[in-house]
Amino acid sequence: MLKQRPFLIETLTAIGLIVAPFVLPHLGFAPNTVNRILVWGLFGLGFDILFGFTGLLSFGQSAFYGTGGFVAAYLLTRAGFGNVLGALIIGMIAAAATGYLIGLIALRRTGIYFAMITVAIAEVFFFVEFNPLSDFTGGENGLPGVPTPSFNLGFTTVHFTNGWSLYQFIALCYFIGVIIALRIVRSPVGAIFSAIRDNPLRATAVGHNIHGYKLTAFVIAAAYAGFAGGLLGVLQAFMPPDAFTFDTSGQLVMQTAIGGRGTLFGPLVGATVWLFLQDFLQSALGLGAAWKLVLGVVFVLLVCFLRGGIIGGLADLYRLLSGRRKRSDAEAEPDTETTLHLAPAPMQAKEVAHPAYSGPVLKATGLTKRYGGLVANSDIDFSVNQGELRGIIGPNGAGKSTFFKMLTCEIAPTSGQIVFEGRDITGLKVTEVCQLGLTKSYQVNQLFTGLTVRQNLTIAALAELRGKFRLDLFRKLSSVKGLTEQVEHTLALVNLTRRADTPVAELAYGEKRRLEIGLALATSPRLLLLDEPLAGMSPRERVETVKLLKSIARGRTMIIIDHDMDSLFELVERVTVLQEGKVLLDGTPEEIRTNAAVQEAYLGGVHGEIAA
């Protein structure tokens, strides 16, 4: 997420675009080169939202660049449409609509499979342009005669013909593109894009419909590509057939990596380096086609030594010089010396019981999970009442985590039923169940590792405050009602207020565990499941975390799995013992502690003893 300093980036962009025609000619840049850089930069704004912010690497952007470009060029050259700006906008809409349809298919897969589908899509579009649609696209001749824009102001008509005159139009389009992109990445949707990039599993688990948001990013990127494609035709007075080639997509990816992904301006910087090197190496050094060899070496060096690209490298240098990191470390209190400031009682609406329901909060009946021949959970009956604190224990492999995964609908049971607050939730999705008020913290941390503590909690709180999907693309994050209060309250609950602006990567292990619990808490659950919250902690951290859990537990309904029975028995009122996927016993901590069958189960397990 970009740092929110009102209008600083917008102002600097405007100044840069205004002074460029006065400065760049002295650096050897021809106006046509600058215009091409801006078209690539505009194309890259959308791609960076998709790749840099949402983490979706597409090699198919040429499909949308070509679609927008050819629709606009066709309208202007063959359909008698006289309004250049109108044609560009129609081209953009056509590209966005195409992006929506393609996204529905491509986003069914993730990672390398998604990337491979986008490669195939680029190839299909290239083929379609040259064959079935060549009457419309001009095939290998492209579409010549694309006009430049002119605007009738009543008293005079302004023409943007070529060179620095056309620059004014393209620069204005780029500037508007930057303003829109900045609004998007600073909106709640932009925050969720970053969460999806960092940890899609957790973004889903805290209650966001990530498929909807990924599709949104895909359509945005396609719209930017479509508009930029149209501008290419205007710039060259000709819509070239190579707009659709896979090379175009590859060049965009490389330019973004060179400039710096997740920065919005990375593609512009990358395009500058690319086009400057192309001109310089080809013309000044006379390298001819061998210039790509030099570019390849530059690319490999940059990727190896500047993983954040040129802008990322400059940002790191700035941080180093300003000594920001040192200061934030010095200000931060070491975890081992943390004194707990226990937070007040819970506050959120969801944390109170469902008004129309008075039975058990959760009731599982005959819950069974089979993995092939292995029965992880067998015919479990289980219920929890409002306000109850329940512990679950059992030797390793007893089926505790599997049971939690079924309760939160992360995995579907083989048979059985789960009823939450009177509603059958069996077969629902984890996002829907979280939205209903049931969530868990994970045994192995599932954090948004590229974000700060505050940003992590913001992602979780947004799911509760906005629902699973909402297209508030131009809304400021800070204007989401109740967000600041909910995040600050959760920070206090998990005792991370002092570390709020620290990146997750810089947290101590105990702090990460508290943030893990905080992510679940920030969704304001009515039933909170904690899977081994004390796992991996030092004895001192355990004592602190037990204190913390006691304060969190006030007024909540919680189920806690842990192997540390001393700590667990201190926290909960009743304990359920699982053994080999079945319920062995259910009772008070005292009954469990003294029960011979439980002793036996543990003597047979890895623990060997039970807390006395």
- Where does this chain bind ligand ATP (CB under 6 A)? 371, 374, 376, 394, 396-402
The CA angle 71-214-450, to the nearest 5 degrees, is 130
Between 190 and 581, name the residue whose CB sits nearer to ligand ATP: 581
Q: How far is the CB of 404 from ligand ATP (least distance, A)?
A: 8
Work out the burial of residue 229: count CB atoms within 10 Å of its CB; fewer than 13 is exposed, 13-18 middle, 19 or more buried: buried
Between 386 and 408, name the residue whose CB sits nearer to ligand ATP: 408
Between 121 and 398, name the residue whose CB sits nearer to ligand ATP: 398
Q: Position 239: which residue type? A: M
- CA 373/CA 581 separation, integer angstroms: 13
Between 550 and 582, name the residue whose CB sits nearer to ligand ATP: 582
Task: Classify residue 381 by its DSSP letter.
Answer: E
Q: What Cα–Cα distance (Å) separates residue 170 from each residue in 137, 258, 432, 604?
A: 23, 23, 44, 74
For tokens 């679940």, what's the residue?
520
Could you tell me the sign of the dihedral formed by the alpha carbons of 15, 18, 19, 23, in that order? positive
Q: How far is the CB of 401 from ligand ATP (least distance, A)?
A: 3
Q: How far is the CB of 572 from ligand ATP (least distance, A)?
A: 17
Q: Helix 84-106 crosses helix 111-130 at what angle (to 10 degrees)?
A: 130
Between 445 and 495, name the residue whose CB sits nearer to ligand ATP: 445
SS3 446: coil
For tokens 């393609």, what's the residue?
102
Between 214 and 369, name the residue whose CB sits nearer to ligand ATP: 369
Q: What Cα–Cα distance (Å) separates residue 199 from each residue in 140, 193, 272?
A: 43, 10, 32
Q: How far is the CB of 504 from ligand ATP (least distance, A)?
A: 23
What lies within 8 Å, CB to CB, of 111 at 6+ separation is none
Q: How far is the CB of 168 from ligand ATP (least distance, A)?
A: 60
Between 593 and 607, name the residue whose CB sits nearer to ligand ATP: 607
CB 523 within 8 A of CB 436: no
- CA 239/CA 141 separation, integer angstroms: 9
Between 306 and 535, name the residue whose CB sits nearer to ligand ATP: 535
CB 340 within 8 A of CB 493: no
Q: How far is the CB of 210 from ligand ATP (least distance, A)?
A: 21
Q: How far is the CB of 466 from ligand ATP (least distance, A)?
A: 32
**What are φ and ψ of residue 310, in 5° steps?**
-65, -45
Between 400 and 499, name the residue whose CB sits nearer to ligand ATP: 400
DSSP string, 64-98: HHHHHHHHHHHHHHTS----HHHHHHHHHHHHHHH
- H/E stretch holding 371 reads strand 362-371
Structure tokens at 430: 């984890």
Between 400 and 512, name the residue whose CB sits nearer to ligand ATP: 400
Q: How far is the CB of 568 from ligand ATP (least distance, A)?
A: 13
- CA 164/CA 450 separation, integer angstroms: 40
Q: How far is the CB of 411 from ligand ATP (least distance, A)?
A: 8
- CA 221/CA 181 separation, integer angstroms: 10
- CA 326/CA 24 separation, integer angstroms: 37
Structure tokens at 496: 């991370």
Nearest CA to 592 out of 568, 560, 608 is that of 568
Between 137 and 401, name the residue whose CB sits nearer to ligand ATP: 401
Between 257 and 392, name the residue whose CB sits nearer to ligand ATP: 392
Q: How far is the CB of 377 from ligand ATP (least distance, A)?
A: 7
Task: Work out the widest C-alpha separation in the chain, in whole angstroms.
Answer: 97
Q: How far is the CB of 598 from ligand ATP (least distance, A)?
A: 15
- CA 227/CA 243 separation, integer angstroms: 13
- CA 376/CA 581 separation, integer angstroms: 5
Between 248 and 445, name the residue whose CB sits nearer to ligand ATP: 445
- CA 271/CA 252 separation, integer angstroms: 8
Q: How far is the CB of 376 from ligand ATP (least distance, A)?
A: 3
Q: How far is the CB of 524 from ligand ATP (least distance, A)?
A: 26
Nearest CA to 347 out of 556, 544, 207, 73 is that of 556
Q: Helix 31-48 crosses helix 210-236 at what angle (to 10 degrees)?
A: 170
Between 570 and 580, name the residue whose CB sits nearer to ligand ATP: 580
Q: How far is the CB of 378 from ligand ATP (least distance, A)?
A: 11
